[in-house]
Amino acid sequence: MNGSRRIWRIVRPRTVITPFYFAPLVPRSYTLMAIDPPWRYRTWSETNQDKAASKHYNLMLTEDIAALPVRRLCQDDALVLVWATAPMLPHALSCMAAWGVAYQSNMVWRKVTVNGKVRMGLGFWARTMHEQVLIGTVGKPRKIKAFPSIFDGVAREHSRKPDEFYALVDKHAPNTRKADVFSRETRAGWDAFGNEAGKYDGVIHAA
Ligand SMILES: C[S@@+](CC[C@H](N)C(=O)[O-])C[C@H]1O[C@@H](n2cnc3c(N)ncnc32)[C@H](O)[C@@H]1O
């Protein structure tokens, strides 16, 4: 030392903590996930604009949905159920591939009224009476009791998925840790994520 005082400065590396995209869901926790993305798709006429999903909630581009960290939600082995409308089917399949989820099979929700009649909606090429749930896997999930490939469920508010779907999953895949991704209703046994989570709590049917 030549008489000058050496000044030490402690430099701490700056830690940036990025919140988990799917908070409050817990990373690497789930063995079954139902994912109902806010698909953005073209409507086929101006008069159909009232029915457009964008009138009801925020939408996401397919590339942003494909970039979601779905694998970070799952345990090593998990079952992933993805809702897909008919026009978005190729997009849903490409998102599953991007997430690292292997497509295995699918189920059809046949939309019915409270009286059990088939409910026919609008459509350009085909009038909508159903929606699909794509079944995919991560790793090697434990075998469940196979789902029926078609189930009936009462159609309610725009894009609201039927209670019958959740009852079916609870029955066929008990003892799974479940996440409802892009949820709008709190359900026993399911952890929920979504910017409208809880919106339909206590609402039985308001369509
Ligand atoms: C297809 S709807 C889900 C419908 C729901 N599963 C049901 O049965 O009622 C998609 C949901 O994702 C929500 N959403 C859109 N963008 C989001 C985002 N970036 N983060 C979280 N939720 C989002 C929408 O507000 C909407 O509630």
Q: What is the pLDDT along the chain (207 residues), one digit of tens a residue?
A: 455 677 777 777 777 888 999 999 999 999 999 999 999 976 555 455 445 788 889 999 999 999 999 999 999 999 999 999 999 999 999 999 999 999 999 999 999 999 999 999 988 899 999 999 999 999 999 999 999 999 999 999 999 999 999 999 999 999 999 999 999 999 999 999 999 999 999 998 755
- For a mutational test of ligand 1's pocket, the pick from 195, 199, 203, i.e. the residue with the most ligand atoms closer than 8 A to its C-beta, is 195
Tell me the CA–centroid distance for residue 140 and ligand 1, in Å.
Answer: 28
Tell me the CA–centroid distance for residue 1 and ligand 1, in Å.
Answer: 65
pLDDT of residue 16: 82
Tell me the CA–centroid distance for residue 172 and ligand 1, in Å.
Answer: 25
Q: Which atom of ligand 1 is nearest to 64's Cα?
A: 19
Q: Which residues line ligand 1 (CB under 6 A)?
A: 36, 38, 57-58, 60, 159-161, 182-184, 194-196
Q: Is the pTM of this model over 0.85?
A: yes
CATH 3.10.310.10 fits 31-193, yes or no: no
Q: How many CA atoms lie within 13 A of 106 on its CB side?
A: 18
